[in-house]
Amino acid sequence: MGLSLEQKKAMVQEVAAVADQALTAVSAEYRGLTALEMDRLRAQAREQGVYLRVVKNTLARRAVAGTDFECMTEGFYGPLLLAFSQDDPGAAARLVRDFSKKNPALAVRNVAFGGQLYGPEHLERLASLPTREEALSKLMATMRAPIQKLATTTNEVPGKLVRTLVAVRDAKKEEAA
C-alpha cells in the first residue's frame, strides 16, 4: 500500500528539517540487503546518532531542495537510503563504510559535505575525520605542548646548575683524596 499525500508531505518535511541541520550526507544503494540486515543498519545508525532513512527519490529531491545537499539530486535513482550526520561530520560515512565492509550489497553512491558533491571514493576520507572528542583532545595536546616545553626548559636550568655543582664537588673530593 502506498503512502498518502499527507504522509508524503510529512516525510518530506522531516527529511528536509534533518538535511537543513546536517553536516554531511551519504547516499547508498541498498539493493540486495535483507530486511534483517536493514534492521541492523538502522540500529547501528541510532546508536551512532546518524539519521538514516529510505525515501523515494522524488520525495528525496524535494526534501533536499534548498539545502547544502541539493547537489546530490542527480544521484537519486534506484533504491536509495540517505544517511545524515548531525553532530559528528564523519559519523554517517563511518556507519556506511563499516556496514558495507560486512555487507557488500550496500553500495555507496554519493557523499556530500559543505555543499560539495563527492563520489564514493571519498567515503574513506570523510569517515577518517576525527570525532568531536578526538578533535578536542588533539587540540588540547597541541595547546599544551608549548607550555609543557617551557616548563621543561625552565626546570632544566636549575637542574643543570645542580648537576654542575655536584660534578665540581666530586672533582674536588677526588683531588683531595
Of the candidates 101, 100, 122, 104, which has an alpha carbon nearest to the alpha carbon of residue 112? 122
- Domain locations in the chain as residue ranges: 5-129, 130-177
Query: Does pLDDT of 137 surpass 80?
Result: yes
Q: Selecting from 3.30.70.1730, 3.30.460.10, 3.30.2130.10, 3.90.550.10, what CATH number does the domain 5-129 have?
A: 3.30.70.1730
Q: pTM of the entire structure?
A: 0.72
pLDDT band with cut points at 50, 70 and 90 for residue 50: very high
Residue 108 has which C-alpha cell? 555507496
Distance CA 63, CA 15 (A): 6
Alpha-carbon dihedral 121, 23, 92, 63, rounded to 10 degrees: -100
Output the pLDDT for position 127. Answer: 83
Taking the C-alpha atoms of residue 159 and residue 113, their distance in angstroms, rounded to an integer, is 52
Tens digit of each residue's pLDDT (9 = 90 or more) over 100-126: 999 888 889 999 988 889 888 888 888
CA distance 43 to 75: 25
Angle in degrees, 0-180, between the axes of helices 35-48 and 91-102, rounded to the nearest 10: 150
